[in-house]
């Protein structure tokens, strides 16, 4: 069991690192031989290989520190190669920080160096627009679409077209210290952000902790992830259906003003404006915060690992709160979708074989087999006996699996716009200006919106 937990730890530590920037979307799929059309096959269905003809080599580029361990990924490759004697999959691993540039560089050759690539949510629009990704909309079966979380399809879909299969799912969660919350006289975590403020004021007045909540609000992508949660939880967002920025509308300004107020009131740890996810984990795990938002990886480290935490046994998770008006309107939660997918490269001469591997890798059977290190994208995996199997895989999944299935349907993706990397940096700066008092929330967001419009024009 220790071995299983250590390997699970490799996954969950990695999930905190899944945040850089993104860009655009869309181009034509590679031509398919008209005499041998690609047959629509459900992604969960195993297809027998054709042993006749030459052997096809499929090159895969993925990330070393996410999902199943390299050993497990290699085992999946070996299993696929056995079931598909006409196809040989070869897999390369790089760090997340190197993945984006490695993909871009590989596209410079003809044909591209890789047939299958792992794509972060925030890169899908950029890569589709650059013509890197094969449009597989017509190859994904209806049953696959209906059996996978709707929120998951938001990862690999750009302008209504599907460019890959969802694979690595994660969202931000609301964590709280049950012992400290009970000490303050509360028997349940807050459902709204207004309730969080009220509880935090009581906690602060009683001297239980100096700063009740800690965030990752550094000038980095981590801050954008928290902004998604608060914007969506206040009925706002980033862009409208035409791509116009709307984060500076009344609800958006209110959300940023709320962030500023919680810092000024001493409810949010003021160091949050320089923190990323690991800083949040360290503060929360030391018992110096009652509340925190973070990725799922934090649960095992904070609640189950005495070497990493001083509050083991006291960590609980709850649905991410929303603002009161949204809860009254029937919106129970809102959070950020921080996920990835596997895609076939548009210029691959082996696109059909590559698609067979992507379907196999993301199939429900394979994802269930390796669920200790990768929560399945299949909604059907969280039902009946499947759910029981997932929950019993290791000490963490007993809590994380049901929480994932409850929270992920409320996960929102960042805007799929072709200029996302530059736009995100602009918004990060705007948030810092507001949080440090250099500009009002309205001024900061208006400036960022003006830059977004300039980027759209370019």
List the structure tokens of 249.
Answer: 């509308």
Could you give the 3-state DSSP secondary structure of residue 161? strand
| CA-to-CA dists, residue 94 to 2, 101, 344, 423, angstroms | 26, 11, 18, 26
- The strand pairing partners of 61, in sequence order, are 92, 117
Straight-line distance from the first to the last Cα atom of the chain, in angstroms, rounded to the nearest whole number? 54
Could you give the 3-state DSSP secondary structure of residue 347? coil
- The strand pairing partners of 296, in sequence order, are none
E-strand ranges in 265-354 read 291-295, 315-318, 335-336, 340-344
- What's the CATH superfamily of 2-170+338-398? Periplasmic binding protein-like II (3.40.190.10)
Distance CA 204, CA 351 (A): 58
Could you give the 3-state DSSP secondary structure of residue 427? helix
Phi and psi at 263, nearest 5°, equal -70, -45
Distance CA 118, CA 357 (A): 13
Quick one: three-class SS letters along 78-89?
Answer: HHHHHHCCCEEE
CA 44 and chain centroid, separation:
22
E-strand ranges in 255-324 read 291-295, 315-318
**CATH label, 172-336+419-457, candidates 1.10.645.10, 3.40.50.10420, 3.40.190.10, 3.40.50.1220:** 3.40.190.10
Could you give the 3-state DSSP secondary structure of residue 367? helix
Tens of pLDDT, residue by residue, the chain (458 residues): 433 333 333 333 333 333 333 333 333 333 333 333 333 334 444 433 444 557 899 999 998 765 678 898 999 999 999 999 899 999 999 988 889 999 999 999 999 999 999 999 989 999 999 999 999 999 999 999 999 988 889 899 999 999 999 998 889 999 999 999 999 999 999 999 999 999 999 999 999 999 999 999 999 989 999 999 999 999 999 998 888 899 999 999 999 999 999 999 999 999 999 999 999 999 999 999 999 999 988 999 999 999 999 999 999 999 999 999 999 999 999 999 988 999 999 999 999 999 999 999 999 999 999 887 778 999 998 888 888 888 888 888 889 888 998 998 899 989 888 788 889 999 999 999 999 999 999 999 999 999 999 998 87
Quick one: three-class SS letters along 25-54?
Answer: CCCCCCCCCCCCCCCCECCCCCCCCCCCCC
Distance CA 272, CA 445 (A): 20
Whether 323 and 234 have beta carbons less than 8 Å apart is answered as yes
**What residues does each domain of the chain span?**
2-170+338-398, 172-336+419-457
Distance CA 53, CA 175 (A): 55
List the structure tokens of 5.
Answer: 């937990």
Could you give the 3-state DSSP secondary structure of residue 317? strand
This prediction has a pTM of 0.79
Tell me if 2-170+338-398 shares its fold with 172-336+419-457: yes
- The strand pairing partners of 294, in sequence order, are 173
**Which of 233, 388, 390 lies closest to 321 in space, CA to CA?**
233
Maximum distance among all Cα pairs of the chain, rounded to whole angstroms = 76
456: Cβ contacts below 8 Å, ≥ 6 apart: 243, 417, 419
């Amino acid at each position: 069991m220790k071995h299983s937990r250590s390997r699970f730890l490799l996954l969950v530590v990695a999930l905190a690192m899944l945040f850089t920037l993104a860009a655009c979307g869309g181009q034509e799929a590679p031509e398919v031989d008209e005499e041998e059309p690609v047959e629509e096959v459900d992604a969960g269905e195993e297809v027998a290989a054709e042993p006749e003809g030459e052997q096809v080599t499929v090159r895969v580029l993925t990330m070393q520190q996410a999902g199943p361990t390299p050993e497990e990924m290699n085992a999946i490759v070996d299993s696929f190669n056995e079931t598909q004697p006409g196809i040989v999959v070869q897999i390369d691993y790089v760090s997340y920080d190197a993945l984006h540039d490695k993909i871009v560089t590989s596209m410079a050759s003809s044909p591209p160096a890789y047939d299958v690539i792992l794509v972060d949510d925030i890169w899908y629009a950029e890569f589709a627009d650059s013509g890197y990704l094969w449009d597989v909309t017509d190859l994904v079966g209806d049953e696959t679409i209906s059996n996978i979380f709707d929120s998951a399809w938001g990862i690999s879909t750009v302008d209504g077209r599907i460019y890959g299969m969802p694979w690595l799912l994660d969202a931000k969660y609301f964590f709280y210290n049950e012992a400290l919350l009970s000490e303050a006289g509360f028997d349940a975590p807050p459902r709204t952000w207004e309730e969080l403020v009220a509880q935090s004021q009581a906690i602060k007045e009683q001297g239980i902790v100096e700063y009740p909540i800690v965030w990752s609000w550094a000038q980095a992508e981590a801050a954008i992830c928290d902004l998604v949660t608060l914007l969506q939880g206040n009925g706002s967002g980033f862009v409208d259906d035409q791509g116009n920025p709307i984060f500076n509308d009344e609800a958006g300004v209110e959300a940023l003003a709320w962030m500023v107020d919680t810092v000024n009131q001493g409810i949010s740890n003021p160091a949050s404006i320089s923190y990323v996810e690991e800083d949040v984990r360290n503060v929360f795990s030391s018992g110096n915060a009652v509340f925190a938002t973070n990725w799922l990886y934090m649960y095992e480290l904070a609640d189950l690992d005495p070497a990493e935490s001083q509050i083991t046994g006291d960590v609980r998770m709850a649905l991410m709160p929303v603002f009161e008006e949204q809860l009254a309107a029937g919106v129970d939660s809102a959070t950020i979708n921080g996920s990835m997918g596997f895609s076939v490269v548009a210029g691959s001469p082996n696109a059909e074989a590559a698609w067979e591997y992507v379907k196999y890798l993301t199939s429900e059977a394979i994802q269930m087999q390796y669920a200790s290190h990768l929560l399945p994208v299949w909604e059907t995996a969280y039902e009946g006996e499947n759910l029981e199997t997932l929950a019993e895989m290791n000490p963490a999944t007993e809590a994380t699996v049901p929480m994932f299935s409850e929270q992920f349907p409320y996960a929102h993706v960042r805007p799929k716009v072709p200029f996302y990397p530059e736009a995100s940096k602009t918004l990060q700066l705007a948030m810092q200006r507001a949080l440090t008092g250099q500009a009002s929330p309205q001024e900061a967001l208006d400036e960022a919106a003006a830059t977004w419009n300039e980027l759209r024009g370019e």
